[in-house]
Amino acid sequence: MARSERLPPYVTEGLRMAAVAVAYYATAKIGLQQQLVRGQVTPFWPPTGIAVVALLVWGRRMWPGIALGAFLVNLALGPSILPVLVITVGNTLAPLCACLLLGRVGFRTALDRLQDALALVFLGALLGMVISATVGTSALVASGALTGHDFWPTWSVWWTGDAVGVLIVTPLLLAARTARWPHGVPVLRWAEAVALLGGTAVVSVLATRSSLNLLFLVVPFLIWAAFRFQLPGAAPCVLIVSVSAIFAGADRTGPFSGRDLLSDMVILQAFNGTVSLTALLLSAVVTERNRTLREIEQVCDRLTEALSRLAPDEPLGLQRSPWPEERDHQR
């Protein structure tokens, strides 16, 4: 597109903010299908993952789009305009602070380093989302929509939902952002990918719905995905496993039956955090290893090329010397 046909910067920024607001609102409606407290607190809140990605990719100036989406979602949920505004502030500040924390440690959106995976899990998800959970739950209690006795169970669900949104949605979107349709991939490779996703789905449903404690059965599939496909394969598997666990936790079945809400949220958050951390760490380690191997191969190729230029016609060590005494010495 010619420079004269490009959109003005303010139009581009406005369209991006609108896209963020629409995506926030739409995915919030999906998350609310699993609400556990007062019709608005859910253990799965995808908008936080979308908000963090928007801030990381397009910059912190995207915060108005996040605020608009959060306001529109909570406006219909209540309880009144003042608590809605406070909740909106918390939902906006949480991804902003998460983005700032990630920026302080040099986070890279490629997620190809061990430190990036650790930062996203502990700083972006577990620590950053404390803000939205604390602000939102406090607003509901202060407005009388909840009693003080309900603070910690509600806080645990809120924090779990926001953190899970970062743990499973952010890596998935970051991987999709740089993914390219592979060409020339063998049929067996496609079959392996389909088998991986299908096996992960089946085992996840069985593990989260069984009365036995079988959650550990998903770990081999995460290892398989990370070693064979790195982040583009591990991120969808994490999504499948985590969503299966969230549905089981919301229905209070399988490993989540027979406990109170706070205990279930602790188990769910620990499980999702472990799943995400395992997949991201292994993916980063394998990616770093592959990158190191490629760099070593490139160095070897350059060294071979340099040596071949020194002796283009004769093997190394058999070059003829222009000085007679050196030729005699070689003989």
Query: pLDDT tens-digit profile of 9-28?
Result: 878 888 999 999 999 999 99
Contact predicate 175/232, CB 8 Å = yes
Residue 79, preceding peptide bond in cis (omega within 30° of 0): yes
Handedness of CA 166, 168, 174, 177 (dihedral sign): negative
Task: Give a yes or no: residue 315 inside a domain.
Answer: no
Residue 269 belongs to domain spanning:
9-306
Residue 53 lies in a domain: yes
Q: Which amino acid is at 265?
A: M
**Is residue 315 pLDDT above 70, yes or no?**
no
What tens digit of pLDDT does each residue of 209-218 get? 887 778 888 9
Residue 104 counted as domain residue: yes
Residue 98 has pLDDT above 90, yes or no: yes
> Which spans in 151-260 are helix H?
151-164, 170-178, 187-209, 219-251
Q: Is there a domain that residue 320 lies in?
A: no
Residue 172 has pLDDT above 50, yes or no: yes
Give the global pTM. 0.81
Residue 208 belongs to some domain of the structure: yes
User: Quick check: is 154 in a domain?
Assistant: yes
Contact indicator for 137, 155 with CB cutoff of 8 Å: yes
Average pLDDT value for residue range 151-172 = 90
In a domain, 247, yes or no: yes
Domains identified in the chain, total number = 1
**Does residue 329 belong to any structural domain of this protein?**
no
